[in-house]
Structure 1
Amino acid sequence: MSVVDTRTTIQGSEISFPVCIGPTGFHCLCWPDGEQSTAKAAQALNICYVSSTFSTCSFEDIVSSAPNGLRWFQIYIQRDKQVTKQLIQRAETLGYKALVITVDTPVIGNRLQDNRNKFSLPLFVKIKNFHASIEENSETLLPVSDIDPSTCWKDLAWIRRITRMPIILKGILTREDAELAVSHNVQGIIVSNHGGRQLDTVPATIDALSEVVNAVQGKMEVYLDGGIHTGTDVLKALALGARCIFLGRPILWGLTYKGEEGVRQVLNILKKEFHKSMIFTGCRSISEISQDLVQFSRL
């Protein structure tokens, strides 16, 4: 175990280890430079950063801050198709390498803590890439864009006509939806429950992962989002079939602590833990990580 290689690829691009940064909004709440600092940390670690529709830095500023970084773009499909088209094509022009479509948010979930706390964004925090409004009669004071609740599988054909980026669906949790994704020829799935903030009592993503992986039968890459706190968690996700994992909250914690340096520290902790987990389980490369490493308890 003197040489252990943590590198892998996602959609053909090499990353230094199978941990990437998932789409979360409003990074300027955490640090003045917001998503720019996040993008710099991702570039420094040679991993992918997925920019959110709700970024508080412009896509242009994110790109200029980390021009050599691997970037994907996450979008909520808007009622105004022209707005959706402009966002997607703008991202592609700026060098984003994949399009992540969030499919578990036809409406915003029942965010009880936000509602009870009457949370609202401070005036200095703005969504920079398009105008987002507050829903009429909404209990939440969070600004939300005009998400189209009528979005369905047939919309993928229209999206393919306006972009050449590979399409990743974020928010799949079941075999049935995974099989539909295969039949619609998308390039990837992110198994995600939106951090548990959409429908209460949905499965943990690690519990849904095997069902989705078995359904796609190797026809596309499957990733996992949510619930990862240690390098051992990363190892288990890969053993159960994930190509890599995407981090949400831990990145925001690191960003709040010390900006780019804080995000780097979070990522380096996970990288060291994952590297040791590979050593302890005798895996010299990502390809040697298999389901044999995971034992399921039966109650």
Structure 2
Amino acid sequence: MASTSDDRAVHPEHLHCLADAERAAAAVLPAAVRDFLAGGSGAEVTLDANRTALDRVFVVPRVLRDVSACTTGTTLLGRPARLPLALAPVAYQRLVHAEGELAAARAAREAGVPFTASTLSSVPVERLTALGGAVWFQLYWLREAGRSLDLVRRAEDAGAEAIMLTVDVPWMARRLRDVRNRFALPGRVRAAHLAQGPSAAHRTPSGPGHASALAAHTAAVFSPALTWSSVEALRERTRLPLVLKGILAAEDAVRAAACGVDAVVVSNHGGRQLDGAVPSVDALPEVVAAVAGRCEVLLDSGIRSGTDVLRALALGASGVLVGRPALWGLAVGGEGGVRRVLDLLADEFRDALGLAGCVNAAAARELRTVRHDG
């Protein structure tokens, strides 16, 4: 569990932006866990580019509009949400706090936004849905396709409201921070939805190697044979809204809409898969144009402020996924820390809406943007 020594801990109320949360989490997390959360693949070019690309998007605000009653509410996958965002699927959250996903899901429930439970969650989906909030279930396609469909059935039975299939991980990319740290899960943290027992994810690599213990474990479990036929089979199998996460090419977005998915997430996995992949926000406008309203489009990777949420909406997204910042809040203050992160995003988004002359999220989608490449 994260260190909480008095000389380094920061109370969530003292966080005034998400950068504060990042710094506070870095002060209390063990170095290897901090690197696991923060790191990207390869030389981390895409990881850095996600942030740079978002900062190059400038919104053209409107004026002389009555914004005295700004509202941040919207709908995601046909259901109401207090903000146009959901918490992204992040694995093994008990690495940073003893309650892990339970604390984060409670915070999401109180904030009125969906929580996405990962296949690699350290808390089972049944305990998360029992909290009463909106829970989406993220699925990694496993080598045994029947096990994948069993997980879908399990999520349905538990009361999950959507299935999010991650499509950009045939195997985990080389993440050099984890390789150098010889990163492995501590014995107290396990993937609650996968078979228990000895796992490569818990063994420290014994030789120089080219992969972390987690990468070796996922290579043994994840299927590199995930194809469009798998998506079609999943679409036929589940009655729940289906989301594909990891779409960057417009052609893939068109194919996804043709398969009947309810949403795509434009994402490069937070810079953790193909290094050199296009920043997600740069791919967003083309994907939005390609699907032409046939499914929702969400943006993932690099969201760090309410202004970023406004940028995403102005570029045509229905909403965003927020990943690392929620883990920073979790590390700093458990449920209270995640709630503080979500409160900050809500305050910043409401502020950005009003200052841009928008009374709600729908109005934000009508804003123009200018890209500054200087």
TM-score of the superposition, structure 1-length normalised? Answer: 0.95
- Decide which of 92, 97, 108 is 1:26's aligned counterpart: 92
2:170 to 74, 87, 106: 106
> Which residue pairs with 1:207 in the alignment?
282
Pairing 1:159–2:225 present: no
> How many angstroms does 1:86 deviate by?
1.2
Pair member with larger Rg: 2
Are residue 35 (structure 1) and residue 35 (structure 2) matched?
no
Taking only aligned residues, the RMSD between alpha carbons, in angstroms, comes to 1.6
Match of 1:189 among 236, 241, 264: 264
Question: In structure 2, which of residues 182, 202, 209 is the aligned counterpart of residue 118 of structure 1?
Answer: 182
* Secondary structure in structure 2 of the residue aligned to 1:266: helix
Aligned partner of 1:94 among 158, 167, 175:
158
**Retained in 2: the 8 A contact 1:167–1:187?**
yes
Matches within 5 A, 1:164-175: 164-175=239-250
1:291 Cα deviation (Å)? 5.1
**Partner residue of 1:283?**
358
Whichever residue aligns with residue 281 of structure 1, its letter is A
8 A Cα contact 1:281 1:293, kept in partner? no
The structure-2 alpha-carbon separation of the partners of 1:223 and 1:105, relative to structure 1 and needing over 3 Å to count, comes to same
Structure 2 CA distance, aligned partners of 1:156 and 1:175? 17
SS in 2 for 1:154: helix
Q: Residues of 2 paired with 1:219 and 1:204: CA distance?
A: 23
Determine if the alignment matches structure 1 residue 49 to structure 2 residue 49: no
What is the CA deviation profile of residues 206-230 of structure 1, one whole-angstrom value per residue up to 9, with x for unaligned ones?
A: 1111011011001100000111111
Q: What is the count of residue pairs matched by the alignment?
A: 297
Aligned to 1:260: 335
Superposed structure 1 runs of 4+ greater than 6 Å apart: 135-138
Alignment of 1:121-136 (within 5 A): 121-131=185-195, 133-134=199-200
- Which residue does the alignment assign to 2:134? 70
Secondary structure at the counterpart of residue 266 of structure 2: strand
Q: Which structure exhibits the higher relative contact order, with contacts defined as CA atoms closer than 8 Å and separated by 6 or more residues?
A: 2
Identity of aligned residues (%): 39
Rounded Cα–Cα distance in structure 1 between residues aligned with 2:237 and 2:148: 10
The code of the aligned residue for 2:77 comes to: Q
Greater shift in the superposed pair: 101-110 or 142-151: 142-151
2:232 and 2:295 mapped to 1: Cα distance?
18
Letter in 1 for 2:263: G
> For 1:50 and 1:292, how far apart are their aligned partners in 2?
29
With over 3 angstroms needed to count, the CA separation of the structure-2 counterparts of 1:17 and 1:221, relative to structure 1, is: same
Counterpart of 1:139, as a letter, is A
Letter in 2 for 1:58: P
Contact 2:241 2:261 in 1 (8 A): yes
Secondary structure of the structure 2 residue equivalent to 1:295: strand
* In 2, Cα distance between equivalents of 1:203 and 1:268: 30
Three-state SS of the structure 1 residue aligned to 2:107 is helix
Runs of 5+ unmatched residues, structure 1: none
Distance 2:233 2:372 in 1: 45
Q: Which runs of structure 2 are paired with 1:225-236 in the superposition (5 Å)? A: 225-236=300-311
Query: Does the 8 Å contact 2:92/2:100 carry over to 1?
Result: yes
Distance of 1:102 and 1:82 partners within structure 2:
17
Distance in 2 between residues matched to 1:225 and 1:36, nearest whole Å? 22
Measure, in 2, the Cα distance between the counterparts of 1:202 and 1:27. 26
